[in-house]
Amino acid sequence: MQKRTLGAGKLEVSALGLGCMGLSFSYAPFPEKPEVLALVRAAADRGVTFFDTAEVYGPFNNEELVGEALEPYRGKVAIATKFGFNLNPDGSPGWQGLNSTPERIKQVAEASLKRLRIEAIDLFYQHRVDPAVPIEDVAGAVKDLIAEGKVKHFGMSEAGAQTIRRAHAVQPVTALQSEYSLWYRKPEEEIIPTLEELGIGFVPFSPLGKGFLTGKMDEATSFEKTDFRSVIPRFSAEARMANRKLVDLLVVIATHKGATPAQIALAWLLAQKPWMVPIPGTTKIHRLEENLGAVDVELTAEDLQQIEDAAAKITIEGARYPEAVEKMTGL
């Protein structure tokens, strides 16, 4: 597996990571625990050294699963987790608003360390920007945790350019995690140039458009009510029908390259910048292997230009999140 380096802090990880959210959050029904452990360990055995989780996924059980699965690989992999929410007191899925107070950050760090069965969190993200807490205080709290040896690197998620700059001035940001793919390209406007200027790595989540770019779904696909995509405007039947043009483009390129649409979508991301590390998620080992195969797909400058020219003629329909969720982003 190829390696890439995130940020000036030089966090070296595999070129593709594993997004673990869907193993126990947002995309129910979920696999059984033995399947989850097998999948995460299969990724590690295949050279993946970067795993993404969060306390809110579940809540808690995602970190517990990842911690148990990766305990035999301690010291050989990097685990990223996140803080930033007030969770429901009864432990039910969801949250009760944002909370990035220094006290809460340190509380989350202590609890996450135990669930993950590690001595230091490799990359600790602010999950969403909390407008009630100055970002300087957030960065300062993580700086304290780094000084204490409980955290190695500071990350942010879905933050705007100016917020990133302010945080970075207090504690260097190693990586920003935000949605980025061929069907969500807003980060190209301000975020990616800012990261390049500051020497911050980029971790695209939903690099396969929450599964849409795999080509495995169409307007007839149905989602369980427990599947988050059932309430996302971009996944309405009408939007899926309109957005199929993008998948058709990927199919054409994939056929030419002897690859799959998913592999082309991931290879496109890998070709954008050497400091980007996508984190596709899956619950199936054969999909894991398919995704990892993207590292070996080489897109030429001509291929990339062909994709760019064709994609420029396609208008993606539907919002990427319900309005209430979108409001929590700092973009």
Peptide bond into 29 cis (omega under 30): yes
80 in Cβ contact with 87 (< 8 Å): no
DSSP 30: P
Q: Which two tokens stand for residue 89?
A: 């007191």
Residue of 283, 266, 161, 179 whose CA lies nearest to 215: 266
Phi, psi of 85 (to 5 degrees): -125, 155
pLDDT for 331: 55
pLDDT for 330: 60
Q: Give all domains of the chain, ordered by start, each with its CATH number.
A: 3-326 (3.20.20.100)
Cα separation of the two ends of the chain: 32
Instruction: Mark out the alpha helices in 233-275 (DSSP H runs).
Output: 237-257, 261-272
Residue with tokens 């980060």: 187
Cα gap 217→178, rounded to integer Å: 23
Q: Are strands 3-6 and 11-14 parallel, antiparallel or unpaired?
A: antiparallel
Query: Which residues carry out catalysis?
Result: 57
Cα gap 83→110, rounded to integer Å: 11
* Three-class secondary structure of residue 11 per DSSP: strand
- Torsion on CA atoms 114, 119, 120, 124, rounded to nearest 10: -10
pLDDT for 48: 98
pLDDT by 10-residue block (mean), the chain, 331 residues: 94 98 86 97 98 94 97 97 89 84 98 98 98 98 98 98 98 98 95 98 95 87 87 90 90 95 97 98 96 96 93 90 76 55
pLDDT for 139: 98
pLDDT for 223: 85
Which helix (DSSP H) or strand (DSSP E) does residue 3 occupy? strand 3-6
2 in Cβ contact with 166 (< 8 Å): no
Residue with tokens 């097998």: 38
Peptide bond into 59 cis (omega under 30): yes
Residue of 153, 142, 155, 46 whose CA lies nearest to 102: 142
330 in Cβ contact with 160 (< 8 Å): yes
pTM metric for this prediction:
0.94
Q: Which two tokens stand for residue 220?
A: 């007839």
pLDDT for 273: 97
Cα gap 198→98, rounded to integer Å: 27
Phi, psi of 236 (to 5 degrees): -65, 155
186 in Cβ contact with 331 (< 8 Å): yes
Q: Which two tokens stand for residue 57?
A: 């996924």
Cα gap 225→29, rounded to integer Å: 10
Q: Which two tokens stand for residue 255?
A: 């056929």
